[in-house]
Amino acid sequence: MLITDKSGNGVFQGRLISRASLTRNPLANAVPVTPSDSVDLPRGPARDLLITTAGTLSFVSASSPDVITTASLPIGRLGVAVRRVRATDTTAVVRALY
């Protein structure tokens, strides 16, 4: 959990984090994803996905129109740029990393 002071600086694991560095921190830009079979991610392609609840995932990568469906994935980062997370065949809960 990130705790901020009045000036917007944060403290994470005992370290002071400047407000400017929060925009460079990938977890500071983790946006909840609502899966959709027809709508791309609203902020554009994500550079990565953070899986916060393990499960299966169906997505369209940023570089291909093909649908990719995975077996059950553990919590962690996917490592693939994604433009759409599909509702069909997705049981994982994910956040888009920008």
Range of the domain at 43: 33-97
**46 and 20 share one domain:** no
**40 and 19 share one domain:** no
Model confidence pLDDT, tens digit, residues 17-58: 445 544 555 556 899 999 999 999 999 999 999 999 999 999
Q: Is 28 exposed, middle or buried (0-12, 13-18, 19+ CB in 10 A)?
A: middle
**41 and 79 share one domain:** yes
Domain count across the chain: 2
% of the chain at pLDDT higher than 70 = 71
Comparing C-alpha atoms, which of 74, 31, 39 is closest to residue 59?
A: 39
CB 47 within 8 A of CB 80: no
